[in-house]
């Protein structure tokens, strides 16, 4: 995984505001820094208070 991908996952893990995480995800992808694996993001839904099966990656991309 790229450093940018690890950064996004760390922000989610630290409980950062999801609007900040979404902005970082957009910036990394726009800069061509590599895609963060959706499955890795979605594995952290419980940390964000969402139910199992929630598409956290899709949610962040829509923000």
Q: Helix or strand or coil: residue 57?
A: helix
Task: Evaluate if residue 10 carries a pLDDT over 70.
Answer: yes
Please give the residue range of the domain that contains residue 18.
3-62
Indicate the pTM of the whole model: 0.83
What is the domain count for the chain?
1
Q: Give per-residue pLDDT as tens, 19-50.
A: 999 999 888 888 876 678 889 999 999 989 99
DSSP notation for 9-47: HHHHHTT--HHHHHHHHHHHHHTT--PPPHHHHHTTTGG
pLDDT of the residue at 3: 62
């Amino acid at each position: 995984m790229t450093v940018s991908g690890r950064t996004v996952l760390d922000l989610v893990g630290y409980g950062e505001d999801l609007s900040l995480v979404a902005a970082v995800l957009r910036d990394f992808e726009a800069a061509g820094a590599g895609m963060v694996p959706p499955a890795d993001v979605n594995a952290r839904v419980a940390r964000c208070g969402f139910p199992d099966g929630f598409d956290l990656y899709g949610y962040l991309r829509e923000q």
